[in-house]
Structure 1
Amino acid sequence: MLQAFREHKRWLMFIAMVLIIPSFVVTGIYSYNRMSQSDNAIVKVGEVAVTPEQFDQAKREQLDRLRQQMGDNFHANMLDTPEARADILRMLTDDVALSQTIAKNYVGVSEADAVALIKNADVLKKDGKFSPELYEQFLRSQGKSDQQFVAEIRRDLAKQVVIGGVADTHPVPKALVEAMHQILTNERLVRTYVEKTSEHLGEVSVSDAEVKAYYDGHTKEFLSPEHVKAEYVVFSPESFKGIQATPEEIQTYYEQNKNRWTTPEQRRASHILIEFGTDKAAAKKKAEEILARVKADPSTFVAEAKKESADPGSAAEGGDLSFFGRGVMTKSFEDAVFNAKKGDIVGPVETEFGWHIIEVTDIQPAAVEPFEAVKGEIEREYADQAAIRAFNERADEFSNIIYEQSDSLAPAAEKFGLKVETTDFVTRSGVTDPELGRIITERVAEMLFGAECLKEKRNSTAIEVPGNRLVAARVVEYFPETERPLAEVSPRIGEKLKSEKAALNAQAAGKAKLAALEKEKNLDGFSDAAWISRQNPQGEEVALVNAALALDSAKLPAWTHAVLADGSYAVVYVEEGRSHKASEAETRGLARELASIYGSADRAGFMEALNESLGFEVLRPDFVKGVEKNTDDQQ
């Protein structure tokens, strides 16, 4: 029975710490203050409008996440497609629709649950325990207070409550689950021999003429992009650090928010579950008999649970369910546990799962962290919130100076004690350095290449960037697109051409080796035999695994080959194959994964219906190419 609760708790943790927390790099306090106006809105869902500023913010945040995930493969213009822009707008409208649904239907998640999730997040733990220091660093990196962050956790979890039941219940045919299991787990016993490209590099050479010919034929590969040297200033809450709270303010805050530092009472219990079966009365009689035995001799409870309990998740542990708080178990079960004393054995208790005999084995009373223990945290939080308030109050002043004295950043820098920074290489797509990219965002780069900044040498407007910061920039020097000279790029061309020639030699040698082996098997120089599958490739490349699994297991042993990513040629001897029947646990797990994949379509349908029921109005179909058709379909 209680295994389901355990799995549900883990699922909530996954949602909160993997899906939700990354989305908290969303919109700073300043954004909410500045973007509340619906003037020039793109679309309207129910009573709420989505503005171009919100769209730009969401796009920047998505680019930031992609930059962190993709590293060198990231390109700042990868969301500049009609499909990507339509997806961003759809994400915003879905969020607006969910927020209104939550408010109208009073869907909520308690503050205690949100705090518990945060304190159990692996990313915020040090040596296995919640680290206030890591949490504080995280909050500072996002420009958020603890109170604001907890509120956002609650809102996002509430959204998951609304949408989770739709996306996680898609039925998946058993045949599909079994077929997918076979695709993933079918194995081949292989031995490999690889003609490596690197081992043939010494056999080849590249002439200056070949390098020149490649350069002449691929000039677009060697262009130094149009770019500017730029100055910029960053205005943020950091400019207002140092505001201190009075002792009275700290004490008052503690008293008003004491529940934040309260750990609710938890109880540990063991149980014996007797399922109803076909005769509920007989099941109850059996439970009463067991209850009488364990009350007569409590030391037998563990043995009785192992022998009689129908809960596979706890029976092997003598019925132990570990510690839990209120709101986790079925109500009748919870009431029985929390109304008993330590050492009490109660029952039979009826739930939808059957009859329970319950022993309360331990109690952890509610505890409140003392004022002195959290005083420093409150002081830091007060300083952070005061800095954010000061930042919000003076943001317009900063923006006005930047605009009114547009021939220099110096007046704003002097007024607020800021440093004017310089960056030498900003393209229309931004900058390559990920950290600097959080300041010189795509929007900032777009402004720098606009007519006012590029031609008239004026300051950009104050632009909000991640971390609750405002950035203003100006062009110092412009550099048009130019061809990089041959001398600069010839080493790179030479290496590329040499690798290509070596790869051809490796493949020719590999083919000759395979032809010889097909006539006379000789496995000298081959690797040891290893079982590989798509689920467990044992470090082999996808091309090799697919080649081995493409062979009919009834016609093994056999030879095959694969060209690897670097051009090397792998000769593969496949000795035998085998398949595995899926266990019940594997079937359930794979069915859940497939249901999640297919459930995304259900989610999309639900959101389309939700948008329609609230009222979906396109105000600017020209803003995102391709959106007009999509939104018309929704209506």
Structure 2
Amino acid sequence: MQIFLAIIIVPSFAFVGIGSYKSFGDDAGTIAKIDGKPLTQLEFDNAVRNQLETYRQRLGAQFDQKMFDTPEFKQNVLDQLIAQRAIAAEVIHANLSVTDAQLQKAIVDMFGGPANFNMDTYKQVLAQQGLRPVDNDARMRRELALQQLAVAIEGTGFAPRSVAKSLSDIAAQEREVQELLLPVADFVPQVKVTDEMVKAFYDKNAKQFEVPEQARIEYVVFNNDAVLSQVSVTDAEVSDYYTKNTAQFTTPETRRASHILIAVKKGASAADTVAAKAKAEAIVAELRKNPGDFAKVAKAKSEDPGSAEQGGDLGVIEKGLLVAPVENAINKLKQGEISDAVQSEFGFHVLTVTELKPAVVKPLDAVKADVADLLKKQKASKKYSEMAETFTNTVYEQSDSLKPVADKLGLKIETAANVSRNPSPVAGAAPYNNAKFLAALFSNDSLTSKRNTEAVETAPSTLVAGRIVEFKPATKRPLAEVDAQIRQRVTMEEAAKLAAKAGEEKLAAFKKSGDATGFGAAKLVSRSKPEGINGLAMQSIMKADTTKLPAYVGVDVPGMGYGLYRIAKVQQPAQADEAQRKQEAEQIGNIIAQQEMAQYIELLKQKAKVKILKPITTTTVTEVK
């Protein structure tokens, strides 16, 4: 198998050393130095943009950059950069490196191994990210080197057996509990709510009764779809594109091949090489007489154990995966033909093509719709900038109505009611439910003049402009309107206080007497098996001091009443769950390893002599577009 893997290479990989990241920029605009290397303002701003873009994609319409425009957020980004640079510096000082073979294996493994790796697909994936193979090689080499360091540290984290056992015992501990609940409802008849109590609650909780400002709005959306609806493609254009780009519609030829290898060791003598060639040529002669015996001969005579077991099968040959002499020879063979002995750096190969599927060109009719769609998008992309400028200028120059821009660009005027200043979860992904657009919509100028907002980019290639048709300022619901609601709320709160008072009195009495009168049937509970007991109550039960039994705890259970709990017995499960204990020990070990890694990073930062040259609060962050 080793020789088989060895001939599968990735010739376009430009393997670079760790020196490719020994320098992190020049001194221009330096805000910090780590191991004597500058961290520049530009690098910091790029890191902030990347973080913001991550949050924007995660939060969607709810993203508001102002939430992150804080010293704490910027400091967190800086801390991450410093930690990364300190670790990278240690990688260099420790001479940690990644071999070409390790890098090649890591990349091929991303695709599920050599059998699934496709060089063209690999390049396409990188191109979509704006990367070249050489750039990705350097990035992955750096990351693999950092992983070596992290694994070396985190791999030392383990939980001592006694500690893991003690923690598992605590987690698995069982307690025999009886419950006595004093329901809030039982105390409601004792509560008398006065008008003064209602008024006091109303005044104290004024924000609960506010009705936020609301607006009825009109808005128009300009995006690629709006442009697409105004472009067309002729049959002649489709045909011309198809003719000039036939390769795009061609399923390439595929060849499945097998080989027999007569190996020649590196540095072999001329005599050994001649002998190996003669052996390979004898196999060629044998197989040309009986081509059907190829698999049987490969199993018996091939010196590539990985493919010999499969009768020499190399699978479907992808361009660039085999050494050049072998690949070139395979591409010249007809199906079933036996090659001459082909020499490579591994020895001499006898080759055959076991399956050949010729290239197939899809007919124009089969791809016509796709080509038309592609050409429309290309035209729309070119026209978008021109129409976007018209949109922006029209909503500004004719700001008393959205009708001119709608008529000019063929857009639909949309309406929305009960729109407030902040994005609403109810509105979801509605075009107007965007923090930047709402800020423009509820600006002083828009509110007072009821003119169009400026064109606001709410997403890539999406502009929205709107205007307020009707505005209702924030108000407070009158007391009379919420009187019944408040009375009910106050009643329940006062009843809960009475239940808690009665419960605390009973708790004190039980602690003195050790009595179980009034409690329900005993339950055996644990942290993982609460047996219907409220979560807050379970926390108190499992935390209770049980050095003296029976033990009692009282818990105010919101919405239910006051719970009293009598703990009569504490024990371990009859049979320990060894699988669970093993998992818990691993989790404890991971926590310890993470703590050790954090401490190690702090030591590396000290070793790197980190110097902050510019207060982070003075930096400027470019808004994400």
TM bucket normalised to smaller: 0.5 to 0.7
Distance in 2, Cα, partners of 1:458 & 1:172: 64
C-alpha spacing 1:208/1:181, structure 2 compared with 1 (3 Å): same
The more displaced of 515-524 and 207-216 is 515-524
Instruction: Give the corresponding residue for 1:521.
Output: 515
**Number of aligned residues:** 450
- What are the within-5 Å matches in structure 2 for residues 337-352 of structure 1? 337=306, 339-341=308-310
Q: Is the 8 A contact 2:188 2:491 kept in 1?
A: yes
Counterpart in 2 of 1:568? Answer: 561
Which residue of the partner structure matches residue 401 of structure 1?
391
8 Å Cα contact 1:172-1:591 kept in structure 2: yes
Determine the structure 1 residue equivalent to 2:159: 174
1:588 alignment counterpart = 586
Distance 2:454 2:208 in 1: 34
SS of the equivalent of 1:435 reads coil
Once residues 372 and 112 of structure 2 are traced to their aligned partners in structure 1, the CA distance between those partners, rounded to angstroms, is: 22
1:433-476 Cα distance to aligned partner (Å, 9 max, x none):
25146742222222223344334544334333357633333333
Which segment drifts farther, 182-191 or 557-566?
Answer: 182-191
CA drift at 1:591 = 2.0
Deviates more, 1:89-98 or 1:543-552: 89-98
1:314-361 alpha-carbon deviations (Å, 9 max, x no partner): xxxxxxxxxxxxxxxxxxxxx8555522899xxxxxxxxxxxxxxxxx
| One-letter code aligned to 1:501 | E
- Once the two structures are superposed, residues 144-200 of structure 1 have per-residue CA deviations (whole angstroms, 9 ceiling, x without a partner) of xx9799759998x96976776666653545257566545544443333232233554
Deviation at 1:569, TM superposition (A): 1.4
Partner Cα distance (2:84, 2:369) in 1: 34
1:495 to 456, 481, 488: 488
After superposing the two structures, state which structure 1 stretch, 223-232 or 514-523, moved more.
514-523
* Contact 2:61–2:434 under 8 Å retained in 1: no
Matches within 5 A, 1:51-62: 60-61=56-57
The offset of 1:497, in angstroms, is 1.1
- Tell me if the contact between 2:61 and 2:435 (Cα under 8 Å) persists in the aligned partners: no
Q: CA offsets, 1:342-400, max 9 Å, x none?
A: 899xxxxxxxxxxxxxxxxxxxx99999999xx99997799489648835751563255
Correspondence list, 1:527-542, <5 A? 528-533=522-527, 537=530, 540-542=533-535
**Cα separation, partners in 2 of 1:585 and 1:484, compared to 1, 3 Å:** closer
Q: 2:181 aligns with which of 194, 197, 210?
A: 194
User: What residue identity is the alignment partner of 2:222?
Assistant: F
Aligned 1:280-319 pairs, distance under 5 A: none
For residues 532 and 357 of structure 2, the distance between their equivalents in structure 1, rounded to whole angstroms, comes to 50
Contact kept, 8 Å, 1:166 with 1:599, in 2: the verdict is no
Contact 1:44 1:619 in 2 (8 A): no
* Distance of 2:610 and 2:104 partners within structure 1: 23
The residue type paired with residue 523 of structure 2 is A
Structure 2 distance, partners of 1:381, 1:192, is 72
Q: Percent identity?
A: 21
Q: Which stretch of the first structure deviates more once superposed, 179-188 or 495-504?
A: 179-188
Cα pair distance change 1:514/1:63, threshold 3 Å:
same
- Show the counterpart of 1:441: 434
Point out the more displaced range, 541-550 or 575-584.
575-584
What is aligned with 1:213?
A: 200
Check whether the contact 1:233–1:419 (CA below 8 A) recurs between aligned residues: yes
Separation in 1, partners of 2:357, 2:542: 58
Cα 1:110–1:617, aligned 2, differ >3 Å: closer, same or farther? Answer: farther
Residue aligned with 2:428, SS: helix
Please tell me the residue identity of whatever aligns with 2:384. R
8 Å contact kept, 1:425–1:431: no
1:405–1:199 CA distance, 2 compared to 1 (3 A): same
CA RMSD, Structure 1 to Structure 2 (Å): 5.9
The structure-2 alpha-carbon separation of the partners of 1:193 and 1:113, relative to structure 1 and needing over 3 Å to count, comes to farther
CA distance in 2, matches of 1:61, 1:413: 29
1:559 aligns with 2:559: no
Q: Name 2:541's counterpart in structure 1.
A: 548
Distance 1:463 1:608 in 2: 46
Quick one: which amino acid aligns to residue 586 of structure 2?
Answer: R
1:83 equivalent in structure 2:
72
Task: Show the 5 A alignment for 1:82-231.
Answer: 82-84=71-73, 87=76, 151=129, 169-170=153-154, 171-172=156-157, 174-175=159-160, 181=168, 184-198=171-185, 200-201=187-188, 203-231=190-218
Stretches of structure 2 that go unaligned for 5 or more consecutive residues are 1-38, 92-97, 114-123, 258-303, 314-354
Aligned partner of residue 424 in structure 2, secondary structure: coil
In structure 2, the residue matched to 1:50 is 46
- Distance in 1 of aligned mates of 2:52 and 2:253: 38
Structure 1 match to 2:474? 481
State the TM-score, normalized to the length of structure 1.
0.53
Q: Which runs of 5+ in 1 are unaligned?
A: 1-42, 68-74, 118-145, 266-334, 345-364, 626-635
Deviation at 1:507, TM superposition (A): 1.9
Distance 1:76 1:454 in 2: 23
Whether the aligned pair in 1 keeps the contact of 2:176 and 2:568 (CA below 8 Å) is yes
CA distance in 1, matches of 2:357, 2:190: 74
Question: Bigger shift: 385-394 or 556-565?
Answer: 385-394
Answer yes or no: is the 8 Å Cα contact 2:215–2:468 preserved in 1. Answer: yes
Supply the distance in 2 between the matched residues of 1:389 and 1:583 (Cα, whole angstroms). Answer: 63
Output the CA distance in 2 between the equivalents of 1:382 and 1:160.
Answer: 43
Report the equivalent of 1:253.
248
Instruction: Choose which of 380, 386, 391 in structure 2 pairs with 1:390.
Output: 380
> Counterparts of 1:392 and 1:90 in 2: how far apart (Å)?
42
Separation of aligned partners in 1, 2:462 and 2:429: 13
String of CA shifts for 1:217-269, please: whole Å, max 9, x gaps. Answer: 3334333334444332233344356888779489743548999xx9x99xxxx
CA distance in 1, matches of 2:371, 2:595: 41
Structure 1 residues 602-617: aligned runs within 5 Å: none
Larger Rg: 2
Q: Would the aligned equivalents of 1:45 and 1:96 in 2 still touch at CA under 8 Å?
A: no
Assess, with a 3 A threshold, how the Cα gap between structure 1 residues 49 and 544 changes in structure 2: closer, same or farther: closer
| Deviation (angstroms), 1:401 | 2.1
- Aligned pair in 2 of structure 1 residues 93, 174: CA closer, same or farther (>3 Å)? closer
**1:429 partner SS:** coil
**Compared CA separation, residues 54 and 258, structure 1 to 2 (3 A):** farther
* Cα deviation digits, residues 539-564 of structure 1 (max 9, x gap): 64443222112234443332212222
Q: Deviations over 1:68-125 (max 9, x none)?
A: xxxxxxx998656542465578789999999xx9xxx9989999877779xxxxxxxx
Amino acid at match of 1:341: Q
